[in-house]
Every structure is written in structure tokens, then in C-alpha cells.
């Protein structure tokens, strides 16, 4: 392992600790679905990161960034999805807040939704794509091989997954301290506002670059 690699690891730790849309979703699912839901959301985010690692090794991420219409489409899809999730939370009426989830809803459906939210939010996040095409390359050794690209990409994915798990555990533990549906409703509305703001910000970035 080189100094550049350990510098990259330290950089990724700082980068992944900064809350983004995925962290907000993990918090939301920790409040609604409890620890299991939060961890499953983190697993969904990790799955998407592995998809980005595979695409990076195959050279598809660089191609996607080079072809601007595809990149901008990804940006607007990501923005639309975040706004959709945010508005859903803002307009919700406390569904599932008194307990982790309604007992009538199948466990598979609950976990599937939490997982899908993690996958889709990260897969449609252009900032994750930029990490693989702009942030990682400067740390790679000269004449980097696909194995080098895989190592750095997997390192990012694993560190990010560890951070997501930490957030999931902290938020699910804090859930026990948050008593009363009113406060939980406010927390979920706040999460909705943050997700909507992230989505609007992405959309504005895209419009400015058109």
C-alpha cells in the first residue's frame, strides 16, 4: 500500500461523514422502520456503489461523463427522485410513525421499499458518479490497471458502507429517545425538506449548465 492510497482512505472517511441524501434517507427509515430499515437502506446504498465500481472498471463512468446529455439526464432523474421522496414526506400524515411500520404491511414489502430507496438514491446521484470520475483518478498510480481502479473503488464503497452503518445505528438508537408522534412528525417533515432541497439544488445545477 502506498502513501497515496492511505491518503485516499483518509479523504474518503472525511467525504463520507458529510451528510448527503443517503444519510437523510437512513435517518428517515430509522425513525419509520427502526434499525432494520435503516441498515437495509444502507445496504441499498452499498449495492449502488458496487454498481458504480463495476461501471468504473469497465470505463462506463468516464463515457457517461463525456457524453453530456446522458450525464445531465442522470442529474435530472436524481433531482426528480429526491424531490419526489421529499414531497412524500412533507405531505405524509404520520404513517408509520407511532410504530416502526403498520403490522398489516408485509415485512418483505417494508424491507424492499427501504432497500429500493437506498439503491435508487445512490444510483441516480450524479455526485457519486463524479467521485469515480474526478475524485478517485488523481489518487491512482501512474499507468493504473483495472485492479487498481477496483481497489480504490471498493475502498470508497466499503468506507462509505461503514459510515452508513454507523449513521443507521446512531439514528436507530436515537429513535428510542424521541418520544411522541409530534416530534417524530417534525423530524420527518424536516427530512422531507432536506431531501427536496437536495433535489432542487441538483436541478438548478443542471439548468445552469445547459
What is the per-residue pLDDT for 14? 92
Contact 128, 48 (CB under 8 A): yes
Q: Which of these ranges, 12-26, 73-87, 93-107, 173-187, has the smallest mean pLDDT?
A: 93-107
Dist CA 61 CA 136 (whole Å) = 12
- pLDDT the model gives residue 104: 47
Q: What is the DSSP letter of 87?
A: H
pTM of the predicted structure, to 2 decimals: 0.83
Lowest mean pLDDT among 82-86, 94-98, 176-180: 94-98
What confidence score (pLDDT) does residue 122 get? 93
Burial class (CB in 10 A: 0-12, 13-18, 19+), 78: buried
Judged against a pLDDT cut of 60, whether residue 98 lies above it is answered with: no
pLDDT for 97 equals 45
More confident residue, 56 or 90: 56
Average pLDDT over residues 165-179: 84
Residue position matching grid coordinates 441498515: 39
Domain boundaries, the chain: 21-208
Q: Which residue in 210, 7, 175, 195 sits closest to 117, CA to CA? A: 195
Give the separation between CA 10 and CA 188, rounded to whole angstroms.
32
* Rg, the chain, Cα only: 18
Give the pLDDT of residue 89. Answer: 84
Assess contact for 126 and 74: CB atoms under 8 A.
yes
Cα 118 from chain centroid (whole Å): 6
What pLDDT was estimated at residue 134? 87
| Interatomic CA distance for residues 163 and 197, integer angstroms | 22
Identify the sign of the CA torsion 82, 124, 208, 137: positive
Q: In terms of pLDDT, which residue wins out, 175 or 70?
A: 70
The pLDDT assigned to 1 comes to 65
User: Among 66-80, 87-101, 130-144, which stretch is predicted with the lowest mean pLDDT?
Assistant: 87-101
- Concatenate the DSSP letters of all residues of 97-108 into one string: TSSSS-TTS-HH
C-alpha closest to that of 112 among 55, 61, 36: 36
Q: Which of 165, 191, 166 is nearest to 40 (CA)?
A: 165
In sign, the C-alpha dihedral spanning 86, 16, 137, 55 is negative
What was the pLDDT predicted at 192? 86
Predicted local distance difference test score (pLDDT) of residue 170: 92
pLDDT of residue 93: 62
pLDDT tens-digit readout, 13-71? 999 998 889 999 999 899 888 899 999 999 999 999 999 999 999 988 888 778 888 88
Confidence band, pLDDT 50/70/90 cuts, at residue 107: low
The pLDDT value recorded for residue 178 is: 64
Amino acid at each position: 500500500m502506498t502513501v497515496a492510497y492511505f491518503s485516499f482512505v483518509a479523504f474518503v472517511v472525511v467525504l463520507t461523514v458529510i451528510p448527503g441524501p443517503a444519510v437523510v434517507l437512513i435517518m428517515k427509515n430509522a425513525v419509520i422502520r427502526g434499525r432494520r430499515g435503516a441498515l437495509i437502506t444502507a445496504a441499498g446504498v452499498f449495492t449502488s456503489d458496487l454498481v458504480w465500481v463495476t461501471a468504473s472498471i469497465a470505463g462506463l463512468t468516464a463515457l457517461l461523463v463525456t457524453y453530456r446529455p446522458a450525464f445531465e439526464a442522470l442529474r435530472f432523474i436524481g433531482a426528480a427522485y429526491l424531490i419526489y421522496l421529499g414531497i412524500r414526506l412533507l405531505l405524509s400524515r404520520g404513517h408509520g410513525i407511532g410504530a416502526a411500520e403498520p403490522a398489516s404491511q408485509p415485512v418483505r414489502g417494508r424491507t424492499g421499499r427501504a432497500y429500493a430507496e437506498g439503491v435508487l438514491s445512490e444510483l441516480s446521484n450524479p455526485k457519486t458518479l463524479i467521485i469515480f470520475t474526478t475524485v478517485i483518478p488523481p489518487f491512482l498510480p501512474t499507468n493504473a490497471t483495472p485492479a487498481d481502479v477496483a481497489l480504490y473503488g471498493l475502498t470508497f464503497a466499503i468506507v462509505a458502507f461503514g459510515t452508513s452503518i454507523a449513521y443507521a445505528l446512531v439514528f436507530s438508537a436515537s429513535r428510542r429517545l424521541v418520544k411522541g408522534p409530534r416530534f417524530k412528525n417534525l423530524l420527518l417533515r424536516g427530512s422531507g425538506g432536506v431531501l427536496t432541497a437536495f433535489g432542487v439544488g441538483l436541478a438548478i445545477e443542471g439548468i445552469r449548465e445547459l
